Amino acid sequence: MLLLYCYTAESFAITDRAPVDTLIADHTFAPVNMDLRPYINTLADNNGSLTIQQVTQSSFTHEEQLFHDYPKNNGRVNNCWLRLRVKNESDKALSCLLFAGWHDYMYWYVQPPGDTCQQLIQTGLMLDNGGVERWNHYAFNVSVPAGQSRTFYLHIINKSYNESALMPALFSAPAFAQFRDKQLDVYRKEAAVIQVLLGMLLVFFSISIINYIQLPDRSYIYFAAYILGLILFFALRLESKPYQLSFFHQWPMFKYYWDIPGLLFCFYPMYLLFGNTFLNLKERYPFMEQVFTWVAAIVGGLIIVCMYCIAQEQYHLPTIIYSYVYFGTLLPLLAVFLALARRSRHHPLVRFFLYGSVCLYLACLGSFLMHVRPLGLLSALGELAAPSLLLIGGVLLQAMFFLAGLSYRNKLVHHERTRTQELLIKQLNKNKELQHKLNEQLEELVKEQTTEILRKKQELEEQRKKQLETEYDKKLTEIELKAIRAQINPHFIFNCLNSIQLFVMQRDYEYAQKYLSDFSYLIRKTLDFSRRNFISLADEITYLTTYLGLEKMRFENRMEYQIIVDPAIATAELEIPAMLLQPYVENAVKHGMTNPKQPTGVLSIHFNLVASDMLECVIADNGIGIARSKSLRMLPNHHQSSGMEISQNRAELLNKMYNTEIHIEIIDRSAEDEADSGTIVKILIPQL
């Protein structure tokens, strides 16, 4: 109790000591760590316009509330002058060090009696370019010769409302060295934690960049930008840790420009953009994706506003803006977290995003509560990311959860791609089996038809000549017609398989799967139509549409086509010969896509009812034309493609069997107009 009483009495004695205008130093004066508040007089320079000459002529007052030994929010810019008068009555020169804390701008002056005031040193967090030794410039020399007096002025400017401790003290050289060593031990531990954090963040940044190179995904870019922003933020935080290596001492304003804007950038735009792409909100939750995008854009605009305020030296406005953003997004983020938590069972990536987000926001809230008492509500918001152990743990946990989520997402993508590739390979194998069966069926069909022809020939030879000839012609015509319809262009099948193989090699699984489906449909329809003499116009249009779609994908969309049907035609009721139009369409595709003067091949098919019992089909292309095609292929003039020759023969056979008048006309556009190119095929099909 006696020791407590003595300590309390000493404290009150120091605090309540009456202010003294001049510090007297006699032969018994030996300062170790002397509180100078009773000897310091102050002058406020609210406008920042006073010169040193005006200050020496101004009257100072003693304001005890100006001083504080902890970080404090002044609610304004602190621009003040401190005056210390020292009289040395001893027979030895006095040499001490005055330390008042670390502030933005500090100017040290001395005025001998009857002389002008001289500036001895200028320093400060926003002025000092001393590099590694920058923290040794904040102890000001108080030198007074024996028997003389000196007046010292210290000009302190802190434009930020949050001010470091301001507590003037007088030290001897050994005492200040001891004080400096204690401060070094304290800040070295804090800085070591930040440096370890920076090292881990660099590892996370490197992992995200490497993964992006291996698997291009915007989630990695947003995560890397988020980590890079944190690295820059905490590296700048080392600037406020005395006796540490300075990375940005040549750009002191950078610390302010990235203080509140850095918090907004890391914890809002990059966080929201990462969550948007990581959770694939555009497909799963479109409304939430729009909210994330708009909030990120709004906060991006607020970052620009904050930087403009800092450029105008309005350092308190970014803190206020951040406070509104922080409190304004608490409830919406809580609602988003609850909405995502309800879907976490169906979407495992949500759990990684939620765990990381909750860790960070709980750490921010804890850091905020730790700073409310010394700094106040609004100013503590600006210190939400002060590098405390609580916040560092939250940042590391969030980064780990996000990185683990990205790794798990890679695993899911890899499994999905592997499964899709296996399905495509299975489908391709099935298609090969189908092709093999198709070839076998075609061979059997040709053998059967050949056998049938030989048998019919034998029977016809045994009958009477006239009857045998008539029956022979009819049966022979039917058999030849079936054999012609059974033919499939092997070149077309080969091109389709090559196109499917190309899509698989390019990992374009969607196009490969669609190509396989359409090709299988076309093969089935070909087999079906080969057994029928006539099909409906609707079936023929569907068949041609599927075929042209396959050719368009094979030509990589360098081909356009259209099928136009007269509205008066009842496509489901009107019938045409099976497989009659396909060779002409195939020939138009073949030559229509090889015109170097036309970047895109255009093919049009028109069905018109020119009479009540006459259907007209017009096939037009913008290819190189008949004459140009023959000259390029170096073929005889009488040469004609096998498909078109087969269709011509079929038309003649049908005319002979059913007594019809199917008429086919082929027109070369260049023969009529040299400036034009392409081919027009007109086919008139009468209705039975």
Q: Any idea which residue has 């701008």 for tokens? A: 105
Q: Is the pLDDT of residue 458 over 50?
A: yes
Q: What phi and psi values does residue 67 have, to the nearest 5 degrees?
A: -95, 150
Q: Any idea which residue has 């005395």 for tokens? A: 242
142 token code pair: 């108080």
Which pLDDT does position 217 carry in this prediction? 82
Residue 307, C-beta contacts closer than 8 angstroms, at least 6 positions apart: 257, 261
CATH 1.10.20 fits 185-420, yes or no: no
Q: Is the pLDDT of residue 297 over 80?
A: yes
Q: Is the pLDDT of residue 152 over 90?
A: yes
β-pairing, 78-88 vs 22-25, is parallel
In this prediction, residue 100 has a pLDDT band, given cuts at 50, 70 and 90, of: very high
Q: What phi and psi values does residue 246 have, to the nearest 5 degrees?
A: -95, 130
Which pLDDT does position 495 carry in this prediction? 67
Measured from the Cβ of residue 113, the count of other Cβ atoms closer than 10 Å reads: 9
Question: Residue 581: which of 662, 503, 501 has the closest Cα?
Answer: 662
Instruction: Please give the average per-residue pLDDT across 30-38, as a whole number.
Output: 86
In this prediction, residue 480 has a pLDDT band, given cuts at 50, 70 and 90, of: low
Q: In whole numbers, what is the pLDDT of the chain averaged over residues?
A: 81
Which pLDDT does position 366 carry in this prediction? 79
Q: Is the pLDDT of residue 587 over 50?
A: yes
CA gap 346, 355 in Å, rounded: 16
CB 278 within 8 A of CB 349: yes
**Three-state DSSP class for residue 123:** strand
Q: Is the pLDDT of residue 10 over 90?
A: no
Angle at 407 between CA 403 and CA 413, to 5 degrees: 140
CA gap 514, 499 in Å, rounded: 12
Q: Is the pLDDT of residue 634 over 60?
A: no
Which pLDDT does position 132 carry in this prediction? 61
Instruction: Please give the average per-residue pLDDT across 71-96, as a whole number.
Output: 88
CA gap 61, 286 in Å, rounded: 64
CA gap 527, 485 in Å, rounded: 9
Q: What is the 3-state secondary structure (H, E, C) of 222-234?
A: HHHHHHHHHHHHH
Q: Is the pLDDT of residue 606 over 90?
A: yes
Which string of DSSP letters, residue by residue, matches 658-669? H----EEEEEEH
Q: What is the pLDDT of residues 428-447, one digit of tens each?
A: 888 888 888 888 888 888 88
Q: Is the pLDDT of residue 131 over 90?
A: no
Which pLDDT does position 31 carry in this prediction? 81
CATH T-level fold of 14-182: Immunoglobulin-like (2.60.40)
CA gap 505, 612 in Å, rounded: 52
291 token code pair: 């909210």
Domains in the chain: boundaries: 14-182, 185-420, 488-686
Q: What is the pLDDT of residues 640-680, one digit of tens each?
A: 555 567 677 777 877 777 777 889 998 887 776 666 778 99
pLDDT cut 70: percent of the chain above it:
86
48 token code pair: 């920042």
Which pLDDT does position 170 carry in this prediction? 93
CATH architecture of 488-686: 2-Layer Sandwich (3.30)
Distances (CA, A) of 457 to 65, 475, 480, 505: 126, 9, 13, 52
In this prediction, residue 302 has a pLDDT band, given cuts at 50, 70 and 90, of: very high
Instruction: Please give the average per-residue pLDDT across 356-374, as a whole number.
Output: 77
Instruction: Please give the average per-residue pLDDT across 274-284, as a whole number.
Output: 85
Q: What is the pLDDT of residues 509-560, one digit of tens each?
A: 787 888 888 888 888 888 787 778 788 999 999 999 998 888 888 777 788 9
Ranges of H-type helices in 238-348: 253-257, 260-267, 269-278, 281-284, 286-311, 316-342
10 token code pair: 């000493």
pTM equals: 0.55
Which pLDDT does position 228 carry in this prediction? 92
Q: Which helix (H) or strand (E) holds 22?
A: strand 22-25
Which pLDDT does position 40 carry in this prediction? 92
Q: What is the pLDDT of residues 35-51, one digit of tens each?
A: 899 999 999 988 888 88
CA torsion sign for 202, 207, 212, 217 is: negative
CB 585 within 8 A of CB 548: yes
What does DSSP assign to residue 215?
S
